[in-house]
Structure 1
Amino acid sequence: MNYLSHLFLSFENEPITIGNFIADFVKGKKYLDYPEGVQQGILIHREIDHYADNHPIFLDGKRRLAVDYRHYAGVIMDIYYDHFLAKNWSDYSNENLKDFCNRQYQLLHRHQTLLPDKCNYLLGYMESGDWLYNYQFIEGIQFALSGMSRRTSFTSGMERAVKNLTDDYERFEREFQLFFKEILSHIHNFTAQIKK
């Protein structure tokens, strides 16, 4: 799952949101250096990734994409699923997507001292391009995939993956809807357990 999904699956808890956002920049047991709520957010992020990477629907999508993109297939799936969350936002939230995105940027800015340097750098680019909001548009997905493709060490071809999405759009969207219903329930339960 990508940034929008991780932020949404923080369920409006500010420390968890921060942890969920920075988790990719905090390796191993370094998460123990953070306040308890942020630690929980990092663990939730890891659980989201683990759940997605082992879910049969997500795995099937990766398998189809791996024909063209090999080990980058999971990264592409993450972007696709953020697209469908943004596109169908009103199915999952009563808040306007633009308002949600702006609140997330503001929250992360207020707690910049907790963000690793690389994460702060990313936040600047994310906000200037309003990535979270623009995931709903095919052009936003193209921008994200092209940027990721430029940053990979090897030729990934990810900039071409919008065609895979549009060619099989209804299937990917239907799979996302089934998957997201299940991960919502799973992460609600997981969050309740670690907060005890």
Structure 2
Amino acid sequence: MNFLAHLYLSKNDTSIMIGNFIADHIQGNRYEGFSKEIQQGIFLHREIDTFTDAHEVVRKSKRRLHARYRHYDGVIIDIFYDYFLAKNWATYSEIPLELFTKSVYNLLDEVKLDLPIKSQQFINYMIEYNILFNYKYKDGIEKVLNGMNKRTKGKSQMNLAIEDLHSLEAEFEADFTVFFKELIAHTNQKLKKIDTTI
């Protein structure tokens, strides 16, 4: 799952949101300098990634892309699934997407100087281009895919994946709907266990 889903699954707990957001920039046990609550977010992020990577529905989504994009298929699916979450946001949250994303930007901007450098850089980029909110639009997804392709110096051809989103949207959305319901239930269970083990 990508940034919007990880933040949503943090259940509006600000410390868990912070940990969940920075987790990709924390290697191994280098989380030890953070508070217990932020560590919970880091652990939750890792649990979400493990569950996602092993799930058969996600693997089915990846198989539709694998021949064209090889090992980048998972990155693309993460982005597609954030699109479907944003597109169907009212199904999952009573807080409007615009208000949710603005509150996330404010939170992360307030604490960014205490976060890893890579996280700080992405916060600035995310706020400047309103990335989280623009996940709900195909134009926004296309910009993200173009940016990812540039980072791989064109090797990934991820810029072409917008074509797959257009042609297979119904199939990918059906996958997301089934998977995300199970991910929410799994995350709720893991949050309880994380709270008791730290």
**TM-score exceeds 0.5:** yes
> Which position in structure 1 is the counterpart of 2:143?
143
Is 1:126 the equivalent of 2:126? yes
How do 1:33-52 and structure 2 match up within 5 A? 33-52=33-52
CA distance in 2, matches of 1:77, 1:10: 20
CA distance in 1, matches of 2:51, 2:157: 26
Q: Tell me how far 1:16 sits from its aligned partner.
A: 0.5
After TM superposition, where is structure 1 displaced by more than 6 Å over at least 4 residues in a row?
none
- Secondary structure of 2:11's match? coil
TM-score (norm 2): 0.97
> Which position in structure 2 is the counterpart of 1:97?
97
Q: Which amino acid aligns with 1:131?
A: I
Q: Which amino acid aligns with 1:87?
A: K
CA distance in 2, matches of 1:154, 1:130: 24
Quick one: percent identity of the two aligned structures? 43
Is 1:110 the equivalent of 2:79? no
Q: Which amino acid aligns with 1:12?
A: N
Q: How many residues align?
A: 196
Q: Which amino acid aligns with 2:98?
A: K
Structure 2 gaps of 5+ residues are none
Say which is worse superposed, 147-156 or 7-16, in terms of deviation. Answer: 147-156
Kept in 1, the 8 Å contact 2:112–2:123? The answer is no
CA distance in 1, matches of 2:111, 2:93: 24
Q: Tell me how far 1:113 sits from its aligned partner.
A: 3.0
Q: Tell me how far 1:33 sits from its aligned partner.
A: 1.8
Q: Tell me how far 1:112 sits from its aligned partner.
A: 1.6
Q: Which amino acid aligns with 1:31?
A: Y
- Post-superposition Cα deviations, 1:139-171, rounded to whole Å, max 9, x if no partner, equal 000000000110115610000001111111111
Kept in 1, the 8 Å contact 2:7–2:21? The answer is yes
CA distance in 1, matches of 2:165, 2:194: 36
Q: Tell me how far 1:181 sits from its aligned partner.
A: 0.3
CA distance in 2, matches of 1:32, 1:152: 31
> Which position in structure 1 is the counterpart of 2:26?
26
CA distance in 1, matches of 2:43, 2:113: 20
CA distance in 2, matches of 1:46, 1:5: 13
CA distance in 1, matches of 2:99, 2:61: 31
CA distance in 1, matches of 2:74, 2:153: 16
CA distance in 2, matches of 1:48, 1:79: 15
Q: Which amino acid aligns with 1:3?
A: F
> Which position in structure 2 is the counterpart of 1:177?
177
- Secondary structure of 1:28's match? coil
> Which position in structure 2 is the counterpart of 1:57?
57
